[in-house]
Amino acid sequence: MSPLEIIAVLVNVLGVWLTARRTPWCWPVSVVAVLLYVWIFYDVKLYSDMLLQVVFAFLQGYGWWRWQTGRMDQGKVRIERLSTRLALVSLALGALISVLLGAAMAHFTDASLPWLDASLTGFSLVASYWAARKFIASWWLWIVLDAIYSGLYYYKALPLTAVLYAGFILLAVYGLRAWRRDLPGDNAAAAVAS
């Protein structure tokens, strides 16, 4: 546990909390968080995860731009449902990225756990894309990924990061519930049911 890991954890918690609250400021805060983790993951030879953090830095800009459009009157982002077709295409692309990146890391680097690391990276890209597009399904995917990430980081002797990702599961559940409450059409359906 290093001072850098402590700072990265705190900034990450703030970023995810802001995301769950649907505040566009989640994106610049998250840029700082991912840049801190580039160095941490390099040190523990999780190169796919390190590359993911670099990509995340760029995706934060995309997400910030996407969230600036489609705001609701209250200043919160309008959320949407993910179509089955887009879900399947996205997941297939995540699997393809996982296989290609895993093969590259296994054959060309001294990466630790190259296949697991690459798979988590591939599907994290999918979850990030979904979040940037404001799809509520992003939270479900993050719950699964964060559970696996938590175990990976514990195994790699990053205890604070493992706890952070376990906490991300709770924040993702909070985000899922908050977004579902404000999903267009759900409130009307709930009112009719009661």
Claim: this prediction has a pTM higher than 0.85: no
Kindly tell me if the per-residue pLDDT of 187 is higher than 60. Answer: no
Relative orientation angle of helices 114-132 and 84-108, to the nearest 10 degrees: 150
Which of 6-15, 24-33, 80-89, 109-118 has the lowest average pLDDT? 24-33
Q: Contact at 8 Å (CB) between 45 and 27?
A: no
Alpha carbon separation from 58 to 18, 89, 117, 170 (Å, rounded): 18, 22, 20, 26
Kindly tell me if the per-residue pLDDT of 192 is higher than 50. Answer: no
Kindly tell me if the per-residue pLDDT of 193 is higher than 50. Answer: no
Give pLDDT tens digits for 52-111.
Answer: 899 888 877 877 777 776 555 465 667 788 999 999 999 999 999 999 999 999 999 999
Q: Contact at 8 Å (CB) between 64 and 24?
A: yes
> What is the rounded average pLDDT for all residues in the chain?
86
Give pLDDT tens digits for 150-162.
Answer: 999 999 999 999 9
**pLDDT of res. 72:** 53
Give pLDDT tens digits for 27-40.
Answer: 889 889 989 999 99
In whole angstroms, how large is the CA radius of gyration of the chain?
Answer: 17
In the chain, where the domains are located: 3-193
Q: Contact at 8 Å (CB) between 149 and 120?
A: yes
Q: What angle do CA 58, 170, 33 make, to 5 degrees?
A: 30
**pLDDT of res. 185:** 65
Task: Using DSSP, state whether 130 is helix, strand or coil.
Answer: helix
Residues sharing a CB contact under 8 Å with residue 169, sequence separation 6 or more, in sequence order: 143, 146, 147, 150
